[in-house]
Chains A and B, each alone.
Chain A
């Protein structure tokens, strides 16, 4: 059983560019959440997708957008990249967004903006 898979693992982009990160949830999971983790910090919630809709959003600008596909996989898009967007981006999947279920994380995508 494959866990949560993310691609790519590493990415280098230039300021002002756009980037798309991808996530496939764990088998049986239908909810995908995205987190940003700056160096030395805990992950911060960006948004959550359920039934192909953004259900909840954290304190991130509109430059951060996402999508969930019918097969539950998800994309995170970041436009007009800033140096401060350099971070580890983590995808987590869970079932139904229910309260008392664990979230399983992928290995993350390390984004470097130069």
Chain B
């Protein structure tokens, strides 16, 4: 079963606009990671945010984490047509037996129109 939910399920914007995707999860986590997937192929790692961090930046990406609300958001600024992809959040649960298992949400399909 999926750990969390992503919102919206699909997002359509124009090039140059910002895109915001949200992720909610259910259990306590050690970290949360965002991935991009193009055309049903492999996942590309975007950013990892630890449970004791609130915000992280990487280029045009900004990720926030609110552990009290069990939610995270991914902001892509000044979007480009090449950003068109599916975006997934994945959580690594805290606790001794969770090891490296990632639990994924359903994903947000982002379409950026030129």
Contact = CB atoms under 8 A, between A and B. Distances in A.
A99 B42 contact: no
Question: In the complex, which range does the number of interface residues on chain A fall in?
Answer: 20 to 34
B49 to A, nearest CB: 10
Question: In the complex, which range does the number of interface residues on chain B fall in?
Answer: 20 to 34
B100 A48 contact: yes
Interface stretch (B14-22, B29-37, B65-73, B77-85): B29-37
A56 interface: yes
A98 B98 CA distance: 10
B41 A100 contact: no
A44 interface: yes
Contacts of A37: 40
A103 B101 CA distance: 10
Given A90-B42, A90-B43, A102-B45, A56 B102 contact: no
A108 B101 contact: no
A108 B45 contact: no
Interface string B33-64: 10100001111110010100000000000000
A99 B29 CA distance: 10
- The 6 A-B residue pairs with the shortest CB-CB distance, nearest first, are A42-B104, A107-B42, A105-B43, A97-B100, A99-B30, A97-B99
A104 B48 CA distance: 12
Nearest to A45: B101
Contacts of A63: none
Nearest to B6: A42
Contacts of B33: 102-103
